């Protein structure tokens, strides 16, 4: 099962979807706005990412940066569940294993 997590109006997510569609790769799109991530997913993404799975360059993260960086791990997870636009996206998983954060055509080509 291939899952792509993100928000539909994100240009990077759209590029990943276009790649998958162009290569006729079936996937399930999980819209963070309708289905926020679970604590378990955030833990898995953090482990795979090697850090909190946040988009530190994005405007949403910049708005929450001070609060996010001043709280403990449990609170950080709650902030990400409530502020999904701060999560690095898209997140590509195959059989619940993280394969990519963000979109890079070369990286996706290597995966598929």
| 40-62: average pLDDT | 96
- Please give the domain boundaries of the chain with CATH numbers for all domains: 2-111 (3.40.30.10)
| 72-95: average pLDDT | 97
Residues classed as catalytic: 10
**Against a cut of 0.75, is the pTM above it?**
yes
- Distance CA(82)–CA(34), nearest Å, equals 11
Predicted confidence at residue 89, as pLDDT, reads 96
| 74-84: average pLDDT | 97
Predicted confidence at residue 83, as pLDDT, reads 96
Q: Which two tokens stand for residue 96?
A: 């619940």
Name the residue among 81, 107, 83 with its Cα closest to residue 16. 107
């Amino acid at each position: 099962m291939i899952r792509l997590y993100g928000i539909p109006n994100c240009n990077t997510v759209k590029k990943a979807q276009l790649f998958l569609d162009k290569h006729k790769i079936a996937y399930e799109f999980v819209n963070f706005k309708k289905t926020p991530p679970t604590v378990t997913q955030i833990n898995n993404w953090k482990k795979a990412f090697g850090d909190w799975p946040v988009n530190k360059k994005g405007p949403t993260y910049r708005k929450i940066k001070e609060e996010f960086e001043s709280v403990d791990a449990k609170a950080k997870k709650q902030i990400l569940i409530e502020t999904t636009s701060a999560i690095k996206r898209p997140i590509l998983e195959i059989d619940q294993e993280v394969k990519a954060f963000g979109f890079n055509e070369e990286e996706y080509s290597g995966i598929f």
